[in-house]
Amino acid sequence: FAEKAIKMFVETEGNSKENESWVFLSSKDGDLRDRKATEAIFEKYKPTHVIHLAAKVGGLFANMAQKVEFYRENVIINDNIMECCRINKVKKLVSFLSTCIFPDKTKYPIDETMLHDGPPHPSNEGYAYAKRLIDTLNRAYAEEYNCNFTSIIPTNIYGPHDNFSIQNGHVIPGLIHKCYNAKKDNTPFTVWGSGTSLRQFIYSLDLAELTVWVMRDYHSPDPITLSVDEAAEVSIKDVALSVAKAMKFEGEVKFDTDKADGQFKKTACNKKLRGYLPDYKFTSIDEGIQKSVDWFVENYEKARK
């Protein structure tokens, strides 16, 4: 999904540089858990720069049931990619981390320096520790081999090409699909939970633009958080009402308070990013939701759902 956003961004006129040639791969191009398959990919494409998005991912229950697999497979993927980048003298490696790998018990807002300050939530510790090791190894590769490896920590991503599954998708795409169904069936638009939880959402094309900036211009092994400002944090209720407005849904919006709200807030600090890009203008939540709704309606048949 993030890969599709980066592709959309670099293929937009004026965003790709003359000396750049971009290649986009998926799991169909090779199994990165297999060292020989990974080496074959590097041999075939001979990349000078790599954006590492690959991971074994899953929802809450999959993470709880398969901690060993989430740890082992992600460690193997990361080791294969990082070592192949070193051996092939890749000039820059940018790996994706996640806010869910931060300590479970922490103070807010969270920032990059707090990543290793305590254990992650027990539900996803296999995944979280595997991802944290990328940060450890970025510094180790810099110290020992002078490699230019870094990582980015995005907050909640949404936008075109997302997974719009109501059961397994993230908040915004799930609400968009649910509201689409409510409009089509002339039924209430029901939102799980009270709607009071607060979240920061980053539009996928903004994340793509900032990822490309990191690739070109941010040169430190220490991670950088890619997030909207703290002032742009919104409640799930505001998101749901924005989805209803974008969908031109005029029926009843209901909040099912029997369903859990999850964590109240997970505020991330983007002070480090703002130090580099003080004037960067993020897509507003209402504009991003409108674009996402329009894309979903236009691409309903082929959208992941």
Q: Which residues are catalytic?
A: 127
Query: What whole-number distance in Å separates Cα of residue 153 and Cα of residue 99?
Result: 6
Give the torsion sign (CA, 268, 273, 278, 280). negative
DSSP notation for 105-138: S--SSB-GGGTTSS---GGGHHHHHHHHHHHHHH
The neighbour count for residue 2, using CB atoms within 10 Å, is: 18
User: Which residue type does 90 have?
Assistant: V
The neighbour count for residue 30, using CB atoms within 10 Å, is: 18
Query: What is the separation of C-alpha 207 from the centre of its chain, rounded to a whole number of angstroms?
Result: 8
Joined tokens for residue 15: 């965003």
Instruction: Kindly list the distances between the CA atom of residue 196 and the CA atoms of 1, 233, 237, 260, 264, in Å, as whole numbers in the listed order.
Output: 27, 12, 6, 11, 7
